[in-house]
Amino acid sequence: MTINPAIKARTLRLLCEQLGQHPSFTAAYKAVSRQEGISAETLRRWAAEASINAEVQPRAALAEHEEIKNLKADNARLRRNVSALIATTALFAAELYPRHR
């Protein structure tokens, strides 16, 4: 059975609009598929195919990517801070406990 590309596009557009209104992807797929009269699995496959073909990710995936990017930046900053603290600690330790020369 061939699905009309316009119906498929409209359904995927509706899914994108609904993603923010549901607690999970699954809930959004179920709601939209029920509304459009197709199975949730079919809609999930369409969405995966559209993501691969258009190299577009759902908004939630983009938000996760942004969060990972921010966490990596925080991690790098914290590593620099730890390095500075280690160097400072070594300096103070050298002043408190000078080596006998």
User: Which tokens in the block code for residue 77?
Assistant: 């900053």
Q: What is the mean pLDDT of each run of 10 residues along the chain (101 residues)?
A: 82 86 86 91 88 60 79 96 94 81 47
Q: What is the domain extent for residue 34?
A: 1-56
The CATH number of whichever domain residue 45 belongs to comes to 1.10.10.10
Give the global pTM: 0.49
- 4-23 core/surface letters (b: 16 or more CB in 10 A; e: else): eeeebeebbebbbeebeeee
At residue 86, the pLDDT reads 95
Residues 66 and 24 in one domain: no
Q: Contact 47/32 with Cβ under 8 angstroms?
A: no
At residue 48, the pLDDT reads 85
Q: Contact 15/47 with Cβ under 8 angstroms?
A: yes
Residues 43 and 64 in one domain: no
At residue 52, the pLDDT reads 62
Residues 2 and 30 in one domain: yes
Please spell the DSSP secondary structure of 5-19, one letter per residue: HHHHHHHHHHHHHHG
Residues 68 and 101 in one domain: yes
Task: Provide the number of structural domains found in the chain.
Answer: 2
At residue 70, the pLDDT reads 92
Residues 49 and 83 in one domain: no
